[in-house]
Homo-oligomer: A and B are copies of this chain.
């Protein structure tokens, strides 16, 4: 709806992320990881649930924590259940900020594929 031609041969796609002092700070994959950490309560369980190696997941968390003014993930080693990880208030806020950004991006993408001049069709 909103588009008189539903036969979309082409579509505008894209990826976006937030750069920080060391390069990528927040991106789609990192957001999924944060959500899973929030849900499972540990980095390793989150990594397993998305078929990501623990090493990779740990690197991503470390990168985010290093670049943020305040850590996004709080980690505990040892103790009940061997430890775990939880999102800080800053982590939850980052999740929200990025979600809104991504939604705006999706709208931009849809708007632009709708405005696509059906390349060279009428030639």
- Chain A residues proximal to chain B, CB less than 8 Å: 9-21, 25, 68-70, 89-90, 93-94, 97, 101, 104-105, 108-109, 112, 116-117, 119-121, 123
> Is A120 touching B10 in the complex (CB atoms < 8 A)?
no
With a CB–CB cut-off of 8 A, which chain B residues contact A93? 119-120
Q: Which of B101, B117, B120 contacts A69 (CB 8 A)?
A: B120
**Chain A contact residues: helix, strand, loop or mixed:** mixed
Smallest CB separation, A24 vs chain B (Å): 8
Q: How far is the CA of A15 from the CA of B120 in the complex (A)?
A: 24
Smallest CB separation, A64 vs chain B (Å): 11
Chain copies in the assembly?
Answer: 2
Considering the complex, give the chain B residue whose CB is closest to the CB of A118: B69
> Is B97 touching A117 in the complex (CB atoms < 8 A)?
yes
Q: How far is the CA of A116 from the CA of B90 in the complex (A)?
A: 15
Smallest CB separation, A10 vs chain B (Å): 5
With a CB–CB cut-off of 8 A, which chain B residues contact A17? 12-14
Q: How far is the CA of A104 from the CA of B10 in the complex (A)?
A: 18
Contact A119/B68 with A112-B101, A112-B104 known, Cβ cut-off 8 Å:
yes
